[in-house]
Amino acid sequence: MKRATKIVSLGRDKKWTKGVINPPVVRASTVVFDSLEHLAKATAGRGKGELFYGRRGTDTHFALQAAIAELEGGVGTALYPSGAAAISGALLSFLKSGDHLLMVDSAYEPTRDLCDKLLAGLGIETTYYDPMIGAEIANLIRPNTKVLYLESPGSITMEVQDVPTLCQIAHQHGLVAMLDNTWSSPINCRPFELGVDISIQAATKYIVGHSDVMMGTATANEQHWEQLRENSYLLGQCVSADDAYLALRGLRTLGVRMAQQEKNALEIAHWLETRPEVDHIRHPAFPSCPGHEFFKRDYLGSNGLFSFVLKTGNRQAMKAFVEGMQHFKMGFSWGGYESLIVAEFGVDKIRTVTHWDSSKPMFRLHIGLEDTEDLIADLEAAFARYHEALSN
Ligand SMILES: *Cc1c(COP(=O)(O)O)cnc(C)c1O
């Protein structure tokens, strides 16, 4: 099956849909059994797609789990109430007190907070590494290192990692390789073919796609699925059937949304590159982005998210740039159909082993499904406000 066909078809088995197109919303806590035999069968099959108890999922959840697992290329998917919960759930499934974690320096800020606060308190030590470290990651591995965590491209600064090399070295040392694969969604990267053991998605972003549900997924290969699934259960993680339904509904149009948002974003990024104020673009498809060669080698496409850096400016000029936008809204959770802008002030504060120069203004854009002419006009007006603020 080709990708577009998969997006439309996966998870639509008749045992879940009961003959209609989308699986019904099956809300449940308790499940009632007809006999001891029935109960015994359900108990044996719990966590394996058998209806047993609401927290273990219903047809709505099973359909979503099957679709994501197959799209990502793993064997099983655990659902979590947010992307952040999927990250903590995956890490806590494979780390215990006394263990050591290798975390990419360009990780999503709440992931860093989890390491520095909660994991540190449990006696799990984190070492941050340069996203562009490549094979030299081997030098940071200790006898008690258990997990190598990647996020590619990195948050805000967009460094693309050499995923296959990092995973290969992780496996040589018996580590579990985890990837925050949110940027690619389940369709623009084949994480398990690159050697990843656990692929994490903030489904909140492109899978849901309409900025109205919080959800996370963690998908594992054969070797790690049982441990991930059992631990997500022990942590009590589950999502509502209504949210699972919305995520499945969002998923069905993922292919066309991503293709259009990728096209729109590339057009706007190329326009920005021609602006004299712009220092450089941080978009994996641009040679100015660290790891661009890995993007070309390992990824099937990009999306609506990228950053750009200006040559000069100050806080007042940045404020003038982002305030007064007509179409770009100021907000964080990208992956919806709408365009967003964020002024990035303190990136240097969320990097500890790599250097970031925060003196140059930086903005992150998420390009939605609006007409690019309107979006470019919005950015042109922003540059005019920026110049006015600079000259005051
Ligand atoms: C948004 C995001 C998350 C967290 O997802 P939530 O659903 O908001 O908790 C994790 N990783 C990345 C890369 C994200 O962009």
pLDDT (mean) for 150-162:
98
Ligand 1 neighbourhood includes 82 CB (under 6 angstroms): yes
Known catalytic membership, residue 2: no
- Contact between 8 and 252 under an 8 Å Cβ cutoff? The reply is yes
- Binned at pLDDT 50, 70 and 90, residue 48 comes out as confident
Triad 93, 305, 240: Cα angle to 5°: 45
The pLDDT score that the predictor gives to residue 49 is 86
Sign of CA dihedral 304, 307, 313, 314: positive
Ligand 1 neighbourhood includes 336 CB (under 6 angstroms): no
* Neighbouring C-beta atoms of residue 297, cutoff 10 Å: 13
β-strand pairing of 76-80 with 100-104? unpaired
pLDDT (mean) for 251-261:
98
The pLDDT score that the predictor gives to residue 315 is 95
Q: Give 280-302 pLDDT, tens digit per residue.
A: 999 999 999 999 999 999 999 99
β-strand pairing of 278-282 with 125-129? unpaired
pLDDT (mean) for 241-259:
98
The pLDDT score that the predictor gives to residue 392 is 86
Kindly report which listed range (42-56, 139-153, 174-188, 257-271) carries the lowest average pLDDT score: 42-56
Q: Which of 185, 204, 210 has most ligand 1 atoms within 8 Å of CB, for mutation?
A: 204
The candidate with the shortest Cα–Cα distance to 304, out of 260, 270, 244, 363, is 260
**Residue 362: enclosing H or E segment and its boundaries?**
strand 362-366
- Contact between 119 and 111 under an 8 Å Cβ cutoff? The reply is no
B/e letters for 324-359, b = 16+ CB within 10 Å, e = fewer, are ebebbeeeeebbbbbbbbbebeebeebbeebebeee
Residue ranges and CATH numbers for the domains of the chain are 3-251 (3.40.640.10), 254-391 (3.90.1150.10)
Mean pLDDT of the chain: 97
Residues in the chain: 392
3-state DSSP call for residue 215?
A: coil
pLDDT (mean) for 195-216:
98
Active-site hit among 162, 180, 298, 378:
180
β-strand pairing of 198-202 with 176-180? parallel
Q: Which of 114, 205, 206 has most ligand 1 atoms within 8 Å of CB, for mutation?
A: 205
d(CA 219, CA 207): 14
**For ligand 1, atom 4: residue with the closest CA:** 83
d(CA 250, CA 64): 11
The pLDDT score that the predictor gives to residue 47 is 82
Known catalytic membership, residue 206: no
3-state DSSP call for residue 185?
A: coil
- Contact between 306 and 295 under an 8 Å Cβ cutoff? The reply is no
The pLDDT score that the predictor gives to residue 54 is 95
Ligand 1 neighbourhood includes 180 CB (under 6 angstroms): yes
Distance 201 CA to ligand 1 centre (A): 8
**Residue 103: enclosing H or E segment and its boundaries?**
strand 100-104
Q: Give 320-346 pLDDT, tens digit per residue.
A: 999 999 999 999 999 999 999 999 999
